[in-house]
Amino acid sequence: GDSVTQMEGPVTLSEEAFLTINCTYTATGYPSLFWYVQYPGEGLQLLLKATKADDKGSNKGFEATYRKETTSFHLEKGSVQVSDSAVYFCALLLPETSGSRLTFGEGTQLTVNP
């Protein structure tokens, strides 16, 4: 079945450090891929997305590239800020022909210290 695996957390960085959070997936068909962010006490917000192989999603300095050959969608940011502290979720959406399930990884807690 479909599944998403994220690197284990939590991750603690200093401000302006480089961030990578790994995400790999297993799915039939051609899923769309997402990164969602959850700030304390809130619901999930879409951070970025990619709907086909080699697409690069980007938003607020974060980037991720849909790599079909390695079934990966790693999240990167060149210089993190304290305000980036949150939980980050990788997710995949199966196409309608495969049931349209939206499946999430376990989440990675990021803490950025000043």
Partner 1 sequence: NAGVTQTPKFRILKIGQSMTLQCTQDMNHNYMYWYRQDPGMGLKLIYYSVGAGITDKGEVPNGYNVSRSTTEDFPLRLELAAPSQTSVYFCASRPKRQGKVEAFFGQGTRLTVV
What DSSP character marks residue 67? B
The two three-digit tokens of residue 81, written as one number? 């800020």
Tell me the C-alpha distance between 102 and 87, whole Å: 18
Q: How far is the CB of 111 from partner 1 (least distance, A)?
A: 14
Establish if 57 lies at the interface with partner 1 (CB under 8 A): no
Strand (E) or helix (H) holding 89: strand 86-93
Of the candidate residues 22, 24, 51, 65, the single one contacting partner 1 (CB under 8 A): 51
Say which residue the tokens 């879409």 belong to. Answer: 46
Establish if 60 lies at the interface with partner 1 (CB under 8 A): no
Name the phi and psi angles at 63, rounded to 5: -140, 150
Binding segment (CB under 8 A) for partner 1, from list 18-26, 64-72, 77-85, 96-104? 96-104
Of the candidate residues 22, 58, 72, 103, the single one contacting partner 1 (CB under 8 A): 103
Establish if 54 lies at the interface with partner 1 (CB under 8 A): no
Say which residue the tokens 């060149």 belong to. Answer: 78
Residues making contact with partner 1 (CB under 8 A): 6, 32, 34, 42-46, 49, 51, 89, 93, 96, 99-107
